[in-house]
Structure 1
Amino acid sequence: MYQDILVPTDGSDGTRRSITHGLTIAERFDATIHALSIVPEGPLGTLQTDEAIPAAERAVERVESEANREGVDVVTAVERGVPHEEILAYADHHGVDMIVMGTQGRTGLDRVLVGSVTERIVRMADVPVVTVRLNDEIRIEDPDEAARIARKTAEGEGYEDVTVTDDPHRTSASWIVPLETDSGDVHVHVDAVTSEARVAQGSETT
């Protein structure tokens, strides 16, 4: 029934549950997940900072990492433009059968933007749109706390000489903490809601 499922992601907390739902549906129907992040642009160019493109790349890489872990085929893309227009164009061009989206972002402007984009997609899309509301409360807001959990997790799995090599960054309600250990570079993914953590190889994220 469904072969290609599109999950737009901006790296905000509101996309975390939509990613989980999208992966569950894809696994059930043996479908491919398309992770798409849009860098908003207007008449004067990019509407965000110079960090917008790296953040968008990290957002889709997070989906790719989770899809690979679940054994789900995945395609990633980063586009620039008006978000709802780019999402609809991507869906049409790639023959997407379903779109799965969060209904809100983190706070303030993110919440307004993500909510308004989803509303437009629901009204204008030619394929089914599954909307997912953010219900989980983010418990780990402090990057230092995420780093502490990451170090403890790595040490608990037998790594030694563990040091944090860069600032932790958060995408889709998970912290990604880069570490240097006696066995080489690794990343630890810390769930900002549940505090659960797992060690991934350093090449899995950037």
Structure 2
Amino acid sequence: MQEEGFKKILFPTDFSVASDYALSYAVSMVKRFRAKLFLLHVIDSTYDVSGFYIPHISTEKLQQEMEDSAEDMLKKMSGKIPRSITARESAVKTGIPHKAIIKFAKDKGIDMIIMGTHGKAGVDHFFFGSTTERVLKQADCPVLTIRPPKDMLVKRRA
């Protein structure tokens, strides 16, 4: 980190309630440090789209549609950011989420990562782990995690 503060802040999003809630914190930090904001969505490559059969749609077309949809959602998210924040960049990558986030941060020289967390525990966490937790452990820069209030998180029914 430079003496004058954070200059490049990464906000990875999965478009969840937790990410949406954390966006305001990222915006506050970007304003505070007059930093450049990087929005990133990672399409999880561990989900193999070739296993899905949809007549008349190739796996390449399905992948492209996923990327296009993610880019549209990033544009909508960008619309929630004040126009006064002009230094911003958005990207969609495909890969293993925590690895893609860390690689993006290294490639762009990110000073800080701000991300939402779902706070999952139990079986979900044991089998799948937490992208946020893995980023926390492996990132070369500070990571600020934001968890929304419990009443904002919808519990899944068994």
TM-score tier after normalising by the smaller chain length: 0.7 to 0.9
Cα distance in 2, alignment partners of residues 12 and 71 from structure 1: 25
The alpha-carbon distance between structure 1 residues 35 and 129, as it changes in their structure 2 partners (threshold 3 A), is same
Match of 1:25 in 2: 29
Cα distance in 1, alignment partners of residues 102 and 47 from structure 2: 20
Q: Deviations over 1:177-202 (max 9, x none)?
A: xxxxxxxxxxxxxxxxxxxxxxxxxx
Q: Does 1:91 align with 2:121?
A: no
Q: Which has the higher helix share?
A: 2
Percent identity between matched residues is: 30
Pick the aligned partner of 2:133 from 113, 119, 136. 119
Pick the aligned partner of 2:149 from 135, 147, 151. 135
- Structure 2 stretches of 5 or more lacking a match? 53-58, 154-158
Moved over 6 A (4+): 46-49
The alignment yields a C-alpha RMSD, in angstroms, of 3.2
Cα distance in 2, alignment partners of residues 15 and 86 from structure 1: 17
Pick the aligned partner of 2:8 from 4, 14, 30. 4
Q: How high is the TM-score relative to the length of structure 1? A: 0.57
Task: Verify the 8 A CA contact 2:119 2:147 in the aligned structure 1.
Answer: no
Q: How high is the TM-score relative to the length of structure 2? A: 0.72
Cα drift, residue 18 of structure 1: 1.5
If you compute each CA radius of gyration, which structure gives the higher value, 1 or 2?
1
Q: Which has the higher strand share?
A: 1
Task: Verify the 8 A CA contact 2:39 2:91 in the aligned structure 1.
Answer: yes
Bigger shift: residues 54-63 or 93-102: 54-63
Task: Verify the 8 A CA contact 1:105 1:114 in the aligned structure 2.
Answer: no
For residue 88 of structure 1, what is the amino acid of its counterpart? I
For residue 20 of structure 1, what is the amino acid of its counterpart? S
- Structure 1 stretches of 5 or more lacking a match? 140-206
